[in-house]
């Protein structure tokens, strides 16, 4: 497929219910998917859940539930959240899916064996069950895992399979340096390049006794695949690897993996090494987002009591403003902050005060004074100011810089507001119809530019303009002789 665009999120670990970080990532991926659809691409958007591992197995046990039943319940909550967030994913992949996922994960393992990159080795180390990973002395805080201070660190000696990551590091470094596998933002690119220089082979399996819930290693059922081959492989199995090779060859490589900064190494070192070993093309880009912190920059955690879960926020603020805020508040390369008064401020000043008021004002003015009709447009310098912004916004979206995209979009709306204000069409209704023609065109353009971020409101706005399914090609000032529909207020101030 020449014009295809394959975008993924990391697969969530459904050991509990979704949090703000899950909401952020899926919203970002959704905005990316919608943006590329606007450009006319054939988009395939995949998300899913990573359902194996000791932690899930133990959590289910603790609740005295069958493991899969425990997972099913949580997955349902994730899916429910994505529905509430208006997420347009095409496929939800689950790593316990024996039809969609297991054949490809097994095939990938076998390819790595064929390449001579899997070997067995005795390993002894400090293990945190919470993280499901070995730790170095340096990573511990007073002998405890900083992420899981209530759990004891275990010393585990076991014989595992290892994967020859070290064999591919030079190749990956080159691919990343040359942007053949492009890492955005730059700060993450530098971080991974310094990690890769010292990268060692990675443990790739666990004995069934320590990891009872997972995919057995082909040919050695006493060993279970560790998360790398089990979970990272979802990006190719979802596209058809190991079961629908035709489809896979059309969809792969992915254009973009969206992930959080805490799993950079897995996606920018382990994953490309596995693909190179199996002779599979590398994905094109990796977009790495930061964390959503509480106001003031504190980490949200249950023990701090400052966790803000997504469901109630969507209920309070509405899905579009919630999406808008999360995308707007996350600087490229840094962390964002979330609090109810921060989101409230944005809604009232930007979404209502700037965008929504502009649209309602000009639409109702047109309805009242011109019988809902625009004819021509006013050849005005405001058009010259706005038009170059289309390209800037496109670039910002392409670079995953939603903050910059939204700043520019809001600037267009502000230009529309001041243009309307300066022209004072109410003073001379008769000769001002063209002013409204220009304004209606501005609103039309806003309904396209904002669509990846606020799909519901933009659909509504297009309906008010008597338009539908506009794409990036419709960004212009060519709408003339148009009858508009009934004006409606898109957003109201929240107290
Ligand atoms: Zn831990």
**Average pLDDT over every residue of 162-188:** 98
**Average pLDDT over every residue of 345-371:** 97
CB 306, CB 300: distance < 8 Å: yes
Of 2, 64, 99, 302, which one is the catalytic site residue? Answer: 302
Q: Ligand 1 mean position to 369 CA, how many Å?
A: 66
Q: Is 148 a catalytic residue?
A: yes
Q: Ligand 1 mean position to 56 CA, how many Å?
A: 14
Return the pLDDT at 69: 97
In a 3-state reduction of DSSP, which class is residue 288? strand
Is the pTM here over 0.85, yes or no?
Answer: yes
- C-alpha span between 10 and 235 (Å, rounded): 9
Find the helix or strand (DSSP H, E) in which 157 lies. strand 154-163
CB 98, CB 51: distance < 8 Å: no
Give residue-wise pLDDT tens across range 80-121: 999 999 999 999 999 999 999 999 999 999 999 999 999 999
- C-alpha span between 365 and 363 (Å, rounded): 5
Q: Ligand 1 mean position to 135 CA, how many Å?
A: 8
Of 61, 114, 197, 299, which one is the catalytic site residue? Answer: 299
CB 293, CB 45: distance < 8 Å: no
| pLDDT mean across residues, the chain | 96
What is the Rg, in whole angstroms, of the alpha carbon atoms belonging to the chain?
Answer: 25
Assigned token pair, 347: 């809604």
The two beta strands, 220-225 and 216-217, are: antiparallel
Q: Is 145 a catalytic residue?
A: yes
The answer on pLDDT for 133 being more than 80 is: no
Choose among 302, 283, 192, 199: nearest CA to 233. Answer: 283
- C-alpha span between 123 and 367 (Å, rounded): 75
**Average pLDDT over every residue of 26-44:** 98
Q: Is 385 a catalytic residue?
A: no
Give residue-wise pLDDT tens across range 406-415: 999 999 999 9
The answer on pLDDT for 221 being more than 80 is: yes
Q: Ligand 1 mean position to 481 CA, how many Å?
A: 64
Give residue-wise pLDDT tens across range 256-300: 999 999 999 999 999 999 999 999 999 999 999 999 999 888 888
Q: Is 131 a catalytic residue?
A: yes
**Average pLDDT over every residue of 378-402:** 96
Of 107, 145, 164, 229, which one is the catalytic site residue? Answer: 145
Give residue-wise pLDDT tens across range 399-441: 999 999 999 999 999 999 999 999 999 999 999 999 999 999 9
Return the pLDDT at 328: 97
- C-alpha span between 87 and 258 (Å, rounded): 14
How many other CB atoms are there within 10 angstroms of residue 276's CB atom? 18
Return the pLDDT at 1: 64
The alpha carbon of 170 is separated from its chain's Cα centroid by a whole number of angstroms, namely 29
Ordered structural domains, the chain, with CATH? 4-289 (3.40.50.620), 339-483 (1.10.730.10)
Of 65, 79, 131, 182, which one is the catalytic site residue? Answer: 131
Assigned token pair, 354: 């700037």
């Amino acid at each position: 497929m020449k014009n295809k665009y394959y975008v993924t999120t990391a697969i969530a670990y459904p050991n509990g219910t979704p949090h703000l970080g899950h909401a952020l990532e899926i919203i970002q991926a959704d905005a990316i998917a919608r943006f590329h659809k606007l450009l006319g691409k054939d988009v395939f958007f995949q998300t899913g859940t990573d359902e194996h591992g000791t932690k899930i197995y133990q959590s289910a046990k603790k609740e005295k539930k069958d493991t899969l039943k425990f997972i099913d319940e949580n997955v349902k909550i994730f899916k429910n959240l994505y529905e509430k967030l208006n997420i347009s994913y095409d496929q939800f992949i689950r790593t316990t899916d024996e039809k969609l996922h297991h054949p490809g994960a097994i095939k990938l393992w076998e390819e790595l064996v064929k390449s001579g990159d899997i070997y067995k080795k005795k390993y002894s180390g400090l293990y945190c069950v919470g993280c499901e990973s070995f730790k170095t002395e340096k990573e511990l805080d007073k002998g405890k895992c900083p992420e899981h201070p209530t759990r004891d660190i275990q010393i585990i000696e076991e014989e595992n399979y290892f994967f020859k990551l070290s064999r591919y590091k030079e190749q990956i470094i080159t691919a990343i340096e040359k942007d053949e596998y492009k890492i955005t933002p730059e700060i993450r690119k530098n971080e991974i390049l310094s990690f890769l220089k010292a990268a060692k082979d990675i443990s790739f399996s666990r004995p069934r006794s320590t990891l009872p819930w997972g995919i057995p290693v082909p040919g050695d059922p006493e060993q279970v695949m560790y998360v790398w081959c089990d979970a990272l492989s979802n990006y190719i199995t979802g596209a058809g690897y190991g079961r629908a090779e035709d489809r896979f060859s059309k969809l792969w490589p992915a254009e973009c993996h969206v992930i959080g900064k805490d799993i950079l190494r897995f996606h920018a070192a382990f994953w490309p090494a596995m693909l190179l070993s199996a002779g599979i093309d590398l994905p094109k880009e990796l977009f790495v987002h930061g964390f959503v912190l509480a106001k003031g920059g504190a980490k949200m955690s249950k023990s701090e009591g400052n966790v803000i879960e997504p469901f109630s926020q969507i209920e309070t603020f509405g899905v579009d403003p919630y999406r808008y805020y999360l995308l707007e508040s996350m600087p490229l390369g840094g962390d964002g902050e979330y609090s109810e008064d921060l989101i409230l401020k944005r809604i009232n000043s930007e979404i209502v005060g700037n965008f929504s008021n502009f649209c309602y004002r000009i639409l109702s003015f047109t309805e009242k004074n011109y019988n809902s009709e625009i004819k021509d447009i006013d050849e005005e310098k405001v058009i010259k100011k706005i038009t170059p912004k289309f390209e800037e916004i496109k670039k910002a979206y392409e670079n995953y810089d939603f903050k910059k995209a939204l700043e520019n979009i809001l600037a267009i709306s502000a230009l529309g507001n001041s243009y309307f204000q300066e022209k004072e069409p109410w003073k001379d209704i008769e000769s001002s119809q063209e002013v409204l023609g220009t304004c209606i065109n501005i609103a039309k353009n806003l309904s396209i530019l904002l669509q990846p971020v606020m799909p519901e409101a933009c659909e509504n706005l297009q309906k008010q303009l008597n338009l539908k399914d506009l794409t990036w090609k419709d960004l212009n000032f060519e709408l003339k002789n148009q009858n508009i529909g009934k004006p409606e207020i898109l957003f109201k101030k929240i107290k």
